[in-house]
Structure 1
Amino acid sequence: MSPAPESPADEATPPSAGTGALDALEERLLGEDPSLTQAEVAEQAGLSLELARELWHLLGFAHAEPDDRAFTQQDVQALRFTQDLMDLGVIDGDRQDGLVRTLGRSFARLAEWQVNLLADTARESGIDPTDGLIGLADEVMPRVESLQSYIWRRHLLSVASRMLAVAGSGGSLSDRAVCFVDIVGYTSRSRTLSERELVAWLEAFETAALDIVIDHNGRIIKNIGDELLIVADTAQDAAAIATELTRRGADEDDEFPGVRAGVAYGEVVTRLGDVFGPTVNIASRLTNVARPCTVLIDSGMYAALTGADEDDDDHEPSDTDESPYRFRRVRRISVKGYSRLKAWALQPR
């Protein structure tokens, strides 16, 4: 009797095109086919399995089962480098979680943007995203990787130069001007735009804002939806940034959106590329109550710009010709955490 024919369910299911493309992409980006379990990676790196799992989790990667062969020699090398940094004292127990988590979060966002960009490029070129992504990865990724390294080194030089300059002058590293800039009418405007139009609008805003910030020696720390957090080393630079951004927004012939800004000057805690402390909170509160196309500053900014005593409640704003700004004292502001906050409206002459 001849054997019964196999049913379709008994036949091996061929891998999908997407699976094949993913395997090829995995080999290109990781340098080899994954063949190691997490325990084997930890053993070869000389770390405990518990620490290896913790680092993997902090980096934002998916959980791997004990028998999953999802790792390569690059994972071993990454753990060895991490151990080297621990031995050198660069990463200690207090900083380990924050540093690794920040690296993982930052690169996850960067990778998501880059892959979406590659997929859009493939579609606009009439290439199937599944197949085209591999070819684009071969052509684009080495260049992107080199560019990322160059930009990172340039920013390291910039930060180190500022640190050395301040240390050499005997100044304090903790005093900063913090500026929040918020788009006026963002919610209503976003409802009238498609997703693509909204992204293009926000990117145009951020690009124009970045040019202004860089021109005046500032740094954009992060964007929070329709809001930018900006830091400058001097009150003068922060004032120039805030007034120029609001001036652009007030110009009806300029496509730059209307914005409002709050600026505070004082002690700032810097950690993992972000800033914290009362100065940051005050700048945020001032932004929330500022009118469209206006800049509100706190007593620290006012003192730094005018030379007044920050604690002198009787001091009146000065309109001397030497100052590039006009100051208008506003009524004390009651906001969350600050019941009677002193503030001034800042305008260029």
Structure 2
Amino acid sequence: MEASADVAAAMEAYLLGREPNLTRVEVAQRAGVPLDLAVTLWHQLGFPHHADDDVAFTEGDVEALRLSAELVRIGVLSPESQAALVRTWGRSFARLAEWQTTLLAGLAADDGDPADGLTSLAGDVLPRVEALQAYVWRRHLASAVQHLLEDTATLTVGETQTSVCFVDIVGYTTQSRRLDGAELVAWVDAFEQDTTTLVVDRGGQVIKTIGDEVLFTVADPAAAVDVALALTARGADEEDPFPAVRAGIAHGAVVRRLGDVFGSTVNAASRLTSAARPGSVLVDAGVHEALVGDGDGDGQPAWRWRRARRIPAKGFTNLEAWRVRALET
């Protein structure tokens, strides 16, 4: 137990750059930030609670608090957006850190002594991971800027016209009972990976994964339909390990905020997915109106449409729906 505590202390010192030598009161004073604001930021980031006399901080915390205060001062972090943005940072990095730590611990256990192995791996692996994370962030930032500039309406009103699609695994609960933990994780990972690859290839963006469900957006409703049909076709192929899925697509105005999307278009897509039969794709009037008459370049229709019954949904009188299928070749 004592050895584990020593390893934990050594790891903390390595990751923080030095052994903790400051209390939160001293950090706030050195950063020139009121203590209550500092505590609020740390809470929003999801950091553990510390008393005023706990020596748990370093000069790195001082610099981070000073930078946060500067972002607030120059208007990048407004009082309205600060809490939401900081919470998003905290949740995102907490999940990433938990996954990375579990991965490193597993590798260390394979090498013998988990404690010694973890320390050795941290020094060898983490600098590379840190550099890679910075690269990935900058690439995504460049992509996000490009999307923003392509849709100038977003710059002024905060809304953009896009297609929203949910893809939902059919029979997830039953399947999850048949698989052990490792098998279930591998199965869901493969579903998320294959779906993400197809979405990105068609110019879309995966917004989030919710266990057995993927939410993505793409500006072109035709691309959204193509992705959904490709995924349902794979799920219907008994020779393909890809799970059976269903999908719902809506096209209209959405509000983008902190990497997520909101609005009635998102709600419509979610409700359409719930109403879709296994292996089918339901779309709303926005998608249907945008695509009826579109063809394959030779004047031929690209899909088959069938009017579905109106779907009761909160916030809608009755949600119009069409089932879309690929043409048989």
Structure 1 unmatched ranges of 5 or more: 1-14, 309-319
> Closer, same or farther in 2 for the Cα pair 1:170/1:153, shift >3 Å?
closer
Query: Which residue of 2 is the match for residue 329 of structure 1?
Result: 307
- TM-score, normalised with respect to structure 1: 0.89
Q: Does 1:341 align with 2:313?
A: no
Q: For residue 73 of structure 1, what is the aligned residue in structure 2?
A: 59
CA distance, structure 1, for counterparts of residue 153 and residue 216 of structure 2: 24
1 CA distance for matches of 2:165 and 2:84?
Answer: 24
Cα deviation, 1:178-202, whole Å, max 9, x if unaligned, reads 0001000000000011111111111
Runs of 4+ in 1 over 4 A off after TM superposition: 168-173
Alignment of 1:307-318 (within 5 A): none
1:339 offset after TM fit, Å? 4.3
Letter matched to residue 300 of structure 2 = E
Residues in 1 aligned to 2:224 and 2:114: alpha-carbon distance in whole angstroms = 44
1:200-253 residue CA offsets vs partner (Å, 9 max, x unmatched): 111111111111111111111111110111111121221111111111111111
Aligned residues: 323
* C-alpha separation in 1, matches of 2:85 and 2:199: 26
Who is 1:147 aligned against?
132
Per the TM alignment, residue 164 of structure 1 is displaced from its structure 2 partner at its CA by 1.4
In the other structure, the counterpart of 1:8 is none
Does residue 37 of structure 1 match 2:37? no
> 2:38 is matched with which residue?
52
Match of 2:233?
A: 247
Which structure 2 residues correspond to residues 74-93 of structure 1 after superposition, within 5 A? 74-93=60-79
Within the alignment, does 1:174 sit opposite 2:154 as a pair?
Answer: no
Q: Choose 173-182 or 286-295, whichever is displaced more.
A: 173-182
Q: CA RMSD in A?
A: 1.9
The separation in 2 between residues aligned to 1:164 and 1:335, in whole angstroms, is: 34
Shift of 1:77: 0.5
Are the counterparts in 1 of residues 154 and 160 from structure 2 also a CA contact under 8 Å? no
Separation in 2, partners of 1:38, 1:96: 20
Structure 2 length normalisation: TM-score? Answer: 0.94
Find the residue that maps to 1:302 and give its secondary structure: helix
Counterpart position of 1:165:
150
Q: Structure 1 residue 167: deviation in Å?
A: 2.3
What residue identity is the alignment partner of 1:192? R
Equivalent in the alignment of 1:63: 49
Displacement, 1:171? 11
Give the share of equivalent positions with the same residue, in percent.
51
Structure 1 CA distance for aligned equivalents of residues 242 and 302 of structure 2 = 24
| Alignment-mate amino acid for residue 77 of structure 1 | E
The whole-number CA distance in structure 2 between the counterparts of 1:104 and 1:137 is 21
Unmatched segments (≥5 aa) in structure 2: none
